[in-house]
Structure 1
Amino acid sequence: MTFITAAVMTVLCLSISALILMKVHDNRTTVRNRLNHDAAMRATTLLRRDDLPPVHVDPSVAALQVIDPSGRIVSASPTMVGRPPMASFTPPPGVLGAYHTVCQVPGVDDRCMLVSVQRAPRPGGDWMIYAAAPAYPWYVSGQLLAPLLAASALAIALTALGTRRIVITSLKPVEAIRVKLSKITTTDLGHRVPVPQAHDEIHDLARTVNHTLDMLDGAIHRERRFTADASHDLRSPVTAMRTQIEESLSHPDDADWPATARTLLAGVERLHVIVADLMELRRLDADVGAPMTPVDLNELIMRELARRPQGKTLVSDCRPALVRGDRGQLHRMLTNLLDNAERHAVSTIRITLRCENDHAVLAVRDDGSGVPADQREVIFQRFARLAAARAKDAGGSGLGLPIAREIAHHHGGTLTIDDSHQGACFVARIPLLSPPRHHND
C-alpha cells in the first residue's frame, strides 16, 4: 500500500510539475515573442523614415536583421554584421508577422532561438525584418525546476511515510489479535483477543472472535462434562454387571444363574438406553435428522395416548396444531415428557395443546412433588438427576429431558418448566406451520 500510494503521488507530482513548467514556458515564450515583435516594429518605423542605420542596436533582442526584397541584408545588430540571414521563413500571404523556434542561427552558439519576422511593405517590394531572442529550455530555468523537484520529492516522501505509519497503526490491532490467537490451544481457551477502542471493522472482528471463542470454550466445557458424565453413567452398570458375574463365578454351585441372567439383562437394557440416548444427542448436536415435513401434534398425541398403558390417569385437552418438523424427533420429545411425568405423578397426568402467538404450546402436567425453582434448569443438564428422580427410578439415564429440550430447540422452539400449583408443568413451544386465521362472523 505504501508503494502504490508513493507511485500514485509521484505521478501526480510529476503531472502537476509538468503543467506548471508548460504554463510558465508558454508565458515567457509569449513575452519574448512580443519583445521580438516590438523590436521589429521599431525597425520598421525607422525604415519608413529612412533612418535605419546599417548597424542597428536594440538591447531588447539578441539579434536583428533587415532584408530588402532582393535578399540583401541592409541593417543588422552588432552580433549579426557580416552574417548570413538568420532564417528563411516568411509570413504567410496576407499576414504581416510570424515566428518560429530556430536551432541553427548563424553567429549564435548551439542554442535555439525564438525568431520573429515582420513584413514591411515598401515601394518595390516587401522588406523582411527578423528579430531573435534565446528560446527557453523545456524546464524554463534551474531556479524554477529545482523548487518543483524539491517540493515533489518532499510531498512523495511525506505521503509514503504517512501512509506507512497509517498502515502500521491500523495493522497493530490485527497483529495483537494474531499474537493472542497463536496462544490459544484446546487445553487453554482462557485467552481473549484485545478489542480496539475505535469502532471500526477491526473492532467488530475482535468482538466476533471473542464471541466465537466464548462459544468454543463453552462447547468444549460441555463436551468434557458430557464425556465425564457419560463415562460415569456407563461405568456404573458395567461395574455392577462385572461384580455380579464375578460373584456368581466364584461360587458357581450356589449361584442362581437365572436370577443372575435377569440382573445382567437389566444392566444391558440400561446400557442400551444410555447408548441410544447418547447417539440421539450426538445427532441433535450435529443437526442431523429427517427432512422437515408438516406434522399434526394433536394426531401425534392421540396416537401416543392410545398405545400407552393406562397405569395412571391421562387427561388430554388438545386442539389441532400443525407444525413443520421431524415426526420422529417430535414423537421422542412427547414420549420423554410423558415418561418423566409417569415417573413422578401420583395419579394423574394432564396433557394440553393449544395455539398461542404463532406457536403450538404443548403442556404436560403431573400431580407429583414438582421441581424446586432453583433446580428447574439443572434437570435439563445432561446426566443431571435430582435426588427424588434417583429414588423413583434408579435406572434412569438423566438424558430424557435434555434430549426433549434439544429437540424443541432444533425445531426453533423452547422447553421450560412453568409455575404450577401442584407437581411439575413442562411446556414446549414449537412454531406453527402457518398462523391460525381468525374470521369474524
Structure 2
Amino acid sequence: MFTTWSVRARLTAAAGVAALLLNLLIATLVTPLVYLLLADYVSEQVAATSRRVAFTVERYAADDLLKPVAPVEDIDLIQVLDNKNEVRQASPKLVGKPPLTTVRPTGEDGRVDTTTCVPAMPGCLITVGFRVAVGDEYWMSYAFAPTVPWYIDVKYIAGMVGGALVLAGVTAWISSRGLRRALEPVSAIQNELAEITSTDLGRRVPRASHRDEFDSLAQTINATLDRLEATVEQQRRFASDASHDLRSPITAMRAQVEEAMLHPDDTDWEQTSRALMASIERLQALATDLLALARLESGTPGKQDRLDLGELVATELDRRTPGKTLVRSLEPGVFVVGDRLRLARLLTNLVDNAQRHAVSRIDVSVRTEDGCAVLEVVDDGAGIEAEQREIVFRRFTRLDASRNVDAGGTGLGLPIAREIAKAHGGSLTIEDSARGARFVLRLPMA
C-alpha cells in the first residue's frame, strides 16, 4: 500500500509516526519523575497533617479525648493512639476502627515514616507518625494517605497519550504543509517537462526561488535540455546535409541513365560508364564516411594498442602515391595508446585535405609537448580564416575554396578526424601559422 503513496504522504506519515513515538518515549521517561515528585508531595502532606495533629493533641488532648479529628489538607485518615496503643482520637473515616499501625519511633526525633498495609484498607498507605507528650505519657499521632500508583492516575495516562496524539497530528500537519511548499518546484518541473515535445525543445523548466537542491535539479535539467536541443538540431542539420549530398550523385546518375535510354544509338557508353562510376564512387565514399561517423559517435570501442606515433606516420606516408612534396620531422619514441587503423584514417584525412589545398609543400611533424604527443600537418596553401576554423569541422561543410579545388569531396573528412581524436582522449584544432593551414593533433602520452 505504501508503495502507491506520494513522497509527500510518505514523509508526512513518517514525521507523524516519529513525533508520536518520540512523545510517547518522553512521556514514558517523564512518568517516573512525576511519580517521585508526586509521592514526595503526598508524603509531605501526610507529614504536615500528622505534625499539626500532634501539636493539637499535645495542647488539648486531655480535654478532647475521643473527639473526632477533622481532616487536614485533604488528608482524612488520622488516628491518635495513647501509650497503650488504644485509639483516642480519629478522623471520621477511621472512627471505631482499630489502630492501623502501632509502629513507634526509635530515634530521638520522634518521627516514624513507613508504609502500612492492612486488610481493612484498600491498598497500602503512606504513614507518618509523631510522638506526643501528654502528661507523663507518650502518645502517637498518625496520618495516612494512599500510596501513589506507578501509573499515577488513569486520567494522567489518558492525558499523556492524548497529548502525544495531538502533538503528532500537529507535527504531521506542519510537515505536510512544509513538504507541499518544498515540493512545488518539483511539480512545476514535472508539468513543464510533460509539455515539452521534440518540436518544442526551446522551453525550459522553471528554477526554484531558493538556491537549493531543487534549483540545482532545475539547472541540471535545463542543461540536459540544452544538450538535447543541440543534438536534435545537429541531427536535423546532418539529415538535411546528408540528403542533399546523397541526392546530388543520385540525380546525376539518373539524368545520365535517362539520357542514354532516350538516345541509345547516340550514347557513348564508355563515357557514360565513367560518369556513372564517378557518381557511384562518390556515393560509396559518402556511405563509408557516414558509417565511420556513426561508429565513432556510438562509442564503439577501438583497439587499445601501444603505438609509436612517429613510426605510424612514417609507414602511412610511405604508402601514399607521389604528389606534392612531403617534408617529415618525426621524433622517435612518441608513444600513444589507440587504434592503429583509426589513427591512420585521421592522418590520411589530414594529409588528403592538405594535398588539396597546398601549393607545393606539406610539412608533417611528430613531437612531444607538455606531456602530450603532438602531430602537425601544415600546408603552404591559402590557409583558413580564424572565424572559419571551427566551421570546417562541421559535417558536410566545404568552404568555397575547397569546392573550387575538389568538387568531389564528401565534407566529412575533417569531422571524422576530430571524432577520432576525441575517441582517443585528444583534440584536433587549427592553429596560427605563417602560411597555409596548420592542423594540430594532441594525444595523451602512453
- TM-score using structure 1 length: 0.84
Q: Which residue of 1 aligns with 2:288?
A: 276
The farther-off stretch of 192-201 and 296-305 is 192-201
SS of structure 1 residue aligned to 2:246: helix
Distance in 1 of aligned mates of 2:201 and 2:409:
34
SS of structure 2 residue aligned to 1:397: coil
Cα displacement (A) at 1:91? 7.5
How do 1:16-27 residues align onto structure 2 when only pairs under 5 Å count?
A: 16=26, 18-19=30-31, 21-22=34-35, 24-27=37-40
Distance in 2 of aligned mates of 1:301 and 1:335:
9
SS of structure 2 residue aligned to 1:389: helix
**Does the C-alpha gap of structure 1 residues 121 and 285 become closer, same or farther in structure 2, counting only changes over 3 Å?**
same
Does 1:389 find its partner at 2:402?
A: yes
Question: Quick one: which of 76, 100, 104 aligns to 1:62?
Answer: 76
Query: What is the percentage of aligned positions where both structures have the same residue?
Result: 42
Q: Which residue of 2 aligns with 1:118?
A: 129
Please report the RMSD computed on the Cα atoms of aligned residues, expressed in angstroms: 3.6
Distance in 1 of aligned mates of 2:36 and 2:226:
65
What amino acid is aligned across from residue 112 of structure 2 in structure 1?
A: G
**Does the C-alpha gap of structure 1 residues 31 and 371 become closer, same or farther in structure 2, counting only changes over 3 Å?**
same
Does 1:99 find its partner at 2:114?
A: yes
Q: Which residue of 2 aligns with 1:344?
A: 357
Q: Which residue of 1 aligns with 2:187?
A: 175
**Does the C-alpha gap of structure 1 residues 230 and 119 become closer, same or farther in structure 2, counting only changes over 3 Å?**
same
Distance in 2 of aligned mates of 1:185 and 1:103:
87
| Structure 1 unaligned blocks of 5 or more | 434-441
| Structure 2 unaligned blocks of 5 or more | 1-10
Distance in 2 of aligned mates of 1:103 and 1:175:
71
Cα displacement (A) at 1:427? 1.2
What amino acid is aligned across from residue 418 of structure 1 in structure 2?
A: E
SS of structure 2 residue aligned to 1:166: helix
Q: Which residue of 1 aligns with 2:5?
A: none
Q: Which residue of 2 aligns with 1:438?
A: none
Q: How many residue pairs get matched?
A: 424
**Does the C-alpha gap of structure 1 residues 191 and 91 become closer, same or farther in structure 2, counting only changes over 3 Å?**
farther
Check conservation: 2:71, 2:91, Cα contact below 8 A.
no
Cα displacement (A) at 1:388? 1.5
1:33-54 per-residue CA deviation (whole Å, 9 max, x = no partner) reads: 322442575488579x977722
Check conservation: 1:293, 1:326, Cα contact below 8 A.
yes
The farther-off stretch of 164-173 and 55-64 is 55-64
Q: Which residue of 2 aligns with 1:235?
A: 247
Distance in 1 of aligned mates of 2:64 and 2:112:
20
Q: Which residue of 2 aligns with 1:38?
A: 51
Q: Which residue of 1 aligns with 2:198?
A: 186
1:256-283 per-residue CA deviation (whole Å, 9 max, x = no partner) reads: 2222222222221111111110011011
Q: Which residue of 2 aligns with 1:376?
A: 389
Distance in 2 of aligned mates of 1:91 and 1:317:
119
Cα displacement (A) at 1:349? 0.8
The farther-off stretch of 394-403 and 23-32 is 23-32
1:364-397 per-residue CA deviation (whole Å, 9 max, x = no partner) reads: 1111222222221111110011122112211110
**Does the C-alpha gap of structure 1 residues 369 and 339 become closer, same or farther in structure 2, counting only changes over 3 Å?**
same
What amino acid is aligned across from residue 265 of structure 2 in structure 1?
A: D
- TM-score using structure 2 length: 0.83
Distance in 1 of aligned mates of 2:331 and 2:52:
113
Distance in 1 of aligned mates of 2:118 and 2:278:
116
**Does the C-alpha gap of structure 1 residues 75 and 44 become closer, same or farther in structure 2, counting only changes over 3 Å?**
same
Does 1:162 find its partner at 2:174?
A: yes
